[in-house]
Chain A
Amino acid sequence: MYSVIITGTGIVTLLTALPLFAQQQPKSLPTDPETVQRMQKRIDELEARLKGVEALEARLKAVEGKQVQVEEQVAEKSASPATSSYGDFGLENVHIRGFGDITHSYQFGKAGDRNRFTLGEFALFFQARLSEHLNVVGDLEFDADLDDHEFEVEVSRLMLEYQPSRYFNVSVGRYFSELSYYNSHYPHGAWTQTTIGRPFFLSEESGLFPVRNLGVSISGLVPSGKLGLHYFAEVSNGRTSNDGHVFSNNADVFDGKNSKAFVLGLYAQPEWVPGLRVGSAVRYDRPRFVLAADDEEDEEGEHEDDDDRFRGRLAQTIINTHVVYQTPRFEWLNEAFLFLHNPSGAKSTAPVAFYSQLSQQFGNFRPYLRYEYMNGASSDITLRHVGLRHGPSLGVRYDLSTFAALKLQYDHVWQRARSGINGIQAQVAFAF
């Protein structure tokens, strides 16, 4: 640009000098030696000035060239593999992140262990790019077992993703089911969640919801213009139940009877309402369950002998509907579930569950409110131990830094035929 300025200036200077000559010239050409000499001198001066301008231009070009060279080096440096999303597919494309949390909880009116610290899950998240379309994703989870006072290590996610097109992506391995928005968007890691934990019926501890699957998952975009329609489908091992009440948390590792679970879902993210997502999904499974006929424990606290237990299959259909509105500052998550249970030799039931979560960011503070509800019918062979359970959680999240948050939450839970739960929790959650 400087060169343009200088060249222009030089040219214009020369051009503007010519009229001056013209003004000074008499009507007839000068013939006297003095005038000719003066004109010659003037031309020499202008030529000298032009040479000076040209020299200056050359110097500026050289400086500009060096500047470009430096900028290129900076650009090249900033485009190093550490921040590159393509290029080499070597070890530099392996990323490891960690999540952890420590929670203190206090329950009002509870006898015994009502005031304690717990070490939440410590998860290591691995991500590696193998080629332009192939990724490996894995989570290694270290959980404190509060009953056995031991730590358990679990490969909570391990999947190979093949993403050739926005219309078709396929994953194979162990993954978090997309049946629930919350389950797939906040797989684990307390830091990723606004609240201290998941809604009760979506927690792994409850065993009610198929949190993870082992199998194949496909997903993609449906050509739908500004409607932003997406589909997903999952085929995985079915679940089983061996502990008398709930489905085993690890049942997704295998299914002893070879039955498979199927998930099919659709959701829309309309372009005309930024942040809105509306969708529905259905899951069908025929989990095997083993249940004590009277669901009672013996004197030693164990379930009755296997011979006395009821064995059967449960035709289970879970229907999810969600409406989510999420912007960087505001979130309103709503999910409802209908469990259609048709057990062999027992009464069919249709328990329901839902939650609604609202939060708004104010600076580093994010106050939130969640209300959750679950009604496990007393006649439901798998959910009667839950019964009716509902209540609010009110809390605030304070972001200490980009990757660390402090949360304080009050919970109140009403339960049918049981005393309610009333407690507060404080949690520090982080990612690194």
Chain B
Amino acid sequence: MRRTTVWRSMMLGLLLSTSPVVWAQSNGNHLAIVVNTANTVEELSMEKLRRIFRGEEAEWDNQAKIEVVTRASGQPEQEAALRNIYGMNQSALNAYFLKAAFARTLKVKPKVLNTALGVRQLVAGVPGAIGIMRASEVDKSVKPLRINGRLPGEAGYELVLQ
């Protein structure tokens, strides 16, 4: 009796204490687009997001220089970005960037980082930065954007990890 009560209480405690994990799991399948907390932008259309990540947009409306931060090739976040944002595979994307650089249409060359921590640190530290990360990895140091009117975790959010 006593052991059962203790065990149940511990389970309850685990559930309560890990509630952020439970929250995160509900967003865990979403790819968040994050910007610096000082950035006044709250929402982007999918097309605007595509243009930014393809390096076609150089500045935000407040004239801060855009710095695009993506993840390394092969990482789930980058795979999701290729599928949802770029609409091409990594090989085609590499070719696209070279052609765009050659044609002088590439305004911003994306910066590639290996970890969510790196993305968070860079986005938190650079006013014009915009990056990708799992919704579950978003913290208060960065600001997630609404894409086509929806935040990660909301029904109908278009940027899905898998």
Contact = CB atoms under 8 A, between A and B. Distances in A.
A5 B65 CA distance: 40
Contact of A13 (B10, B45, B58, B101): B10
Interface string B52-76: 0000011100010101000010000
B149 interface: no
B111 A5 contact: no
A78 B6 contact: no
Nearest to A20: B2
Given A9-B17, A12-B16, A16-B6, A328 B104 contact: no
A417 interface: no
Contacts of B42: none
B18 A5 contact: yes
B5 interface: yes
Nearest to A185: B103
A187 B103 contact: yes
B14 interface: yes
Interface in A88-129: 95, 97, 99, 125, 127
Nearest to B86: A328
B155 interface: no
Contact of B13 (A9, A189, A274): A9
B145 interface: no
A74 B115 contact: yes
A29 interface: no
Given A12-B12, A165-B59, A402-B95, A71 B117 contact: yes
B65 to A, nearest CB: 8
Given A84-B111, A328-B88, A403-B95, A271 B48 contact: yes
B102 A17 contact: no
Contacts of B96: 328
Contacts of B94: 402-403
A78 B112 contact: yes
B104 A137 contact: yes
Contacts of B9: 12-13, 15-16
B42 to A, nearest CB: 17
A37 to B, nearest CB: 19
B47 interface: yes
A99 B9 CA distance: 68
A8 B13 contact: yes
- Is chain A's binding surface mostly helix, strand, loop or mixed? mixed
Contacts of A83: 111-112
Contacts of B95: 399, 402-403
Given A328-B87, A328-B88, A4 B17 contact: yes
B102 A189 contact: yes
B114 A75 contact: yes
A1 interface: yes
Contact of B115 (A7, A75, A329): A75
Contacts of A72: 117-118, 121
B112 A13 contact: no
Nearest to A161: B104
A172 interface: no
Given A78-B112, A328-B88, A8 B17 contact: yes
B117 A75 contact: yes
Contacts of B6: 13, 16-17, 20
B25 interface: no
Contact of B111 (A11, A79, A99): A79
A163 interface: yes
A329 B96 CA distance: 12
A11 B63 CA distance: 50
A7 B111 contact: no
Given A165-B59, A271-B47, A127 B14 contact: no
Nearest to B17: A8
Contacts of A184: 103-104
Interface of B: 2, 5-6, 9-10, 12-14, 16-18, 20-21, 45, 47-48, 50, 57-59, 63, 65, 67, 72, 86-88, 91-92, 94-96, 98-99, 101-105, 107-115, 117-118, 121-122
Given A12-B13, A166-B63, 10 more contacts: A1-B20, A12-B9, A74-B115, A84-B111, A85-B67, A185-B103, A187-B103, A271-B45, A402-B91, A431-B98
10 contacts: A9-B10, A12-B16, A16-B9, A86-B67, A185-B105, A271-B48, A328-B87, A328-B88, A328-B92, A329-B88
Interface of A: 1, 4-5, 7-9, 11-13, 15-17, 19-20, 23, 68, 71-72, 74-79, 83-86, 95, 97, 99, 125, 127, 132, 137, 161, 163, 165-166, 184-187, 189, 192, 271-272, 274, 327-329, 399, 401-403, 431
